[in-house]
Structure 1
Amino acid sequence: MKTELKRCGEADVDVLAAISVDTFVEAFGEQNTATNMEIYIQQSLTCDVLLAELRTAGSEFYLLIADGTVAGYLKINTGAAQSEPMGDSALEVERIYALTSFKGQGLGALMMNRAVDIAKDRGLDTVWLGVWEHNDPARGFYRHLGFEQFGEHSFMLGTDPQTDLLMKLGI
């Protein structure tokens, strides 16, 4: 399979919004109410919201393209763009998603390796992320890559306060 991680620009916002919604619904739609999913999508995954994030200093999006198909995406944050204040030596993987039909093909590791490589290239020493406490496959994937839990924070999915476990990897 031919794969590419393409950095998103403003011209990619429609494609980014579509893959963001598709992967989020696939990942969490069955475990959450349709109302809370729709509220979250309207608050966080519209073209306008994503365009503002694309324009935020320290935030970067990458489209995962597999055999010519947009299969997922990666969002990283540094500096003040991080969702928690982790300092200037850390990189946050805020979002990392692949469509279900592409899972099990090493694409998650490909995206995570890109994030780690970016952090190393920039002289950073930590990569961190938040993962829903009930997302056992993702938590196992991150542990397999060497991430360790160091805390937690609240994540609002619509009107439902949920808990994300914070995990980090020293590099």
Structure 2
Amino acid sequence: MEGKIRLCTLEDLTKLREISIETFSDTFALDNNPADLQEYLSNAYGLDELEKEMQNPESRFFFVYLTDELAGYLKLNTGIAQTETLAKNGLEVERIYIRKSFKRHGLGRQLIDYALELACKERRDSIWLGVWEKNVNALRFYRTFGFEKVGAHDFTVGKDKQTDLIMMKPLL
């Protein structure tokens, strides 16, 4: 069964915050100090921060629904909204977050396909993302789409500096 994807609006801000905290916590809580995790969640997913991100014309959020239930979301960045300046005409996939109960339903695949489709339609040179070096499943998943490691950057959770691998797929 395929999910339904739609662009988020400011009316979705509270839902976006809730699903961001839920999915990040479900995925990373066991691997992080609780105080560091709480600090990260408060800063990254505060209503003011998310509103600022949503109002940036070079960032887009998309919700994915399965059987009319919010299952996850995708965040894309272009231009100066990208977290790295490695791809001027690139599209960054900053987040693919899927709720625990909706994992293994093909929604991550559907969202990455959607991002690839948009990148091609917008004639982007490349599509790229950062993924935690210890997230073996995600690394394997992105490699199946042709993403390859091109670098790394720091990702800080509270006071804990972690390493995200930068993976890219050329499009043109």
Q: Give yes or no for TM over 0.5.
A: yes
Q: Give 1:32-51 correspondences, 5 Å limit.
A: 32-51=32-51
- For the pair 1:29 / 2:24, whether they are aligned, the reply is no
Cα distance in structure 2, aligned partners of 1:131 and 1:160: 16
Q: Give 1:54-133 correspondences, 5 Å limit.
A: 54-133=54-133
Match in the other structure for 2:156: 156
CA-atom RMSD in angstroms: 0.9
Cα distance in structure 1, aligned partners of 2:67 and 2:144: 26
Per-residue CA deviations over 1:60-82 (Å, capped at 9, x if unaligned) read 00111111111111000001100
- For the pair 1:169 / 2:140, whether they are aligned, the reply is no
Runs of 4+ in 1 over 6 A off after TM superposition: none
Cα distance in structure 1, aligned partners of 2:2 and 2:97: 18
Counterpart contact for 1:150–1:166, Cα < 8 Å:
yes
SS at match of 1:57: coil
TM-score (ref. length: structure 1): 0.97
Change (3 A) 1:18 1:53: same
Question: In the TM superposition, what is the alpha-carbon distance from 1:57 to its structure 2 partner?
Answer: 2.1
Per-residue CA deviations over 1:57-110 (Å, capped at 9, x if unaligned) read 210001111111111110000011000013432000001110121111111010
Question: In the TM superposition, what is the alpha-carbon distance from 1:2 to its structure 2 partner?
Answer: 4.9
Match in the other structure for 1:20: 20
Counterpart contact for 1:2–1:67, Cα < 8 Å:
no
Structure 1: give runs of 5+ residues left out of the alignment: none
TM-score (ref. length: structure 2): 0.96
Structure 2: give runs of 5+ residues left out of the alignment: none
Give the percent of matched residue pairs that are identical in Structure 1 and Structure 2.
39
SS at match of 2:156: strand
Cα distance in structure 1, aligned partners of 2:118 and 2:142: 18
Question: In the TM superposition, what is the alpha-carbon distance from 1:3 to its structure 2 partner?
Answer: 1.5
- For the pair 1:143 / 2:139, whether they are aligned, the reply is no
Cα distance in structure 2, aligned partners of 1:118 and 1:88: 16
